[in-house]
């Protein structure tokens, strides 16, 4: 049994989760990296110091979560220092265009899984007086047109985190939220593919109604400067090691700018966003 502090990261196959897993591993943490495919786990293991443990984890499946609870408990003597709820989906679009089945799948992964995974690991976190990090988004602070579904889950994540901070405080467990802007991860490509599918499946004439909005995002995403996921991993390391971790980590200049927009009077903010999109 090792004396290293152990952490579990969901959605560790790519992007923020992968960068965070490798950073923590390099800093001496015992990392359990949740992945969906064996190949992703092998790649992580190979890139690590050798101590990282990939675990097959589907955050929407109760049996999968229970199996990982068993593995982590056996490896750590029932103590988990850190949980990073990072698994998530992007996507969405104008409400009128998005199938309800798609909305349900995004909510299942981005929201319901937070409750399921956190609930499952709380006994171990309580034993170690551990820490929780939830991967949110700047869209959890400001909701833009055409992003209501994704933003709804990230706004809800802020509420969960705010509530849990005080709910778990008597047990010595801290809760932090990451609020990054545009990060160079697979989630953007997957989101673009999802939007293209929604457009293809939309009813005749509906696309034309929202074409200016959709074209704005297409151009914006193509020109966007993306921050490396390692910048977020730095915040994850701070949240798991600092004597007083921050409640919120806003990551990236674009996120900080959006936070400034958020603080404007609502009427001015609406005017600014509308004119930016429909200029």
Give 144-158 pLDDT, tens digit per residue. Answer: 999 999 999 999 999
* Secondary structure (3-state) at 24: helix
Per-residue H/E/C for 98-130: CCHHHHHHHHHHHHHHHHHHHHHHHHHHHHHCC
Q: What is the CATH number of domain 6-277?
A: 3.40.50.720
pLDDT in tens, 255-273: 999 999 999 999 999 999 9
> Active-site residue 217, yes or no?
no
CA 184 to chain centre: 13
DSSP 171-222: GT-EEEEEEE-SBSSHHHHHHHHHHHHHHHHSPTTHHHHHHHHHHHHHHHHH
DSSP per residue, 35-64: ESSHHHHHHHHHHS-S--EEEE--TT-HHH
pTM over the 0.95 mark = no
Res 50 pLDDT > 60: yes
Checking if the pLDDT of 194 tops 70, the result is no
Closest CA to 54 of 66, 42, 72, 67: 42
Which one of the listed residues 150, 210, 217, 249 is annotated catalytic?
Answer: 150
- Reported as a pLDDT band with limits 50, 70 and 90, residue 221 is confident
Asked if pLDDT for residue 1 goes beyond 60, the answer is: no
Q: Which residues does residue 82 pair with via DSSP β-bridges, in sequence order?
A: 7, 131
Which residues, at least 6 apart from 243, have a Cβ–Cβ distance to it below 8 Å? Answer: none
d(CA 181, CA 114): 21
d(CA 236, CA 16): 9
pLDDT band at 198 (very low <50, low <70, confident <90, very high): confident
């Amino acid at each position: 049994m090792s004396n290293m502090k152990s952490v579990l990261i969901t959605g560790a196959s790519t992007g923020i989760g992968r960068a965070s897993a490798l950073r923590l591993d390099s800093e001496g943490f015992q990392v359990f990296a949740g992945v969906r495919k064996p190949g992703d786990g092998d790649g992580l293991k190979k890139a690590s110091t050798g101590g990282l443990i990939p675990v097959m984890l589907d955050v929407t499946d109760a049996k999968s979560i229970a199996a990982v609870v068993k593995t982590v408990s056996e490896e750590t003597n029932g103590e988990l220092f850190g949980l990073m709820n990072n698994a998530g989906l992007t996507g969405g679009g104008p409400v009128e265009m998005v199938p309800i089945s798609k909305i349900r799948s995004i909510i299942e992964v981005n929201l319901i899984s937070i409750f399921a995974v956190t609930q499952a690991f709380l006994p171990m976190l309580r034993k170690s007086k551990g820490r929780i990090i939830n991967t949110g988004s700047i869209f959890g602070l400001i909701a833009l047109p055409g992003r209501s579904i994704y933003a709804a889950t990230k706004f809800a994540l802020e509420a969960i985190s705010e509530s849990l901070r005080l709910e778990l405080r008597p047990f010595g467990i801290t809760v932090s939220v990451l609020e990054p802007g545009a990060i160079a991860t697979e989630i953007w490509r997957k989101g673009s593919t999802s939007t293209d599918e929604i457009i293809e499946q939309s009813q005749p004439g509906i696309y034309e109604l929202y074409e200016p909005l959709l074209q704005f995002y297409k151009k914006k995403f193509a020109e966007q400067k993306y921050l490396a996921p390692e910048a977020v991993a730095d915040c994850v390391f701070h949240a798991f090691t600092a004597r007083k971790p921050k409640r919120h980590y806003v990551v990236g200049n674009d996120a900080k700018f959006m936070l400034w927009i958020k603080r404007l009077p609502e009427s001015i903010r609406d005017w600014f966003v509308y004119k930016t999109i429909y200029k």
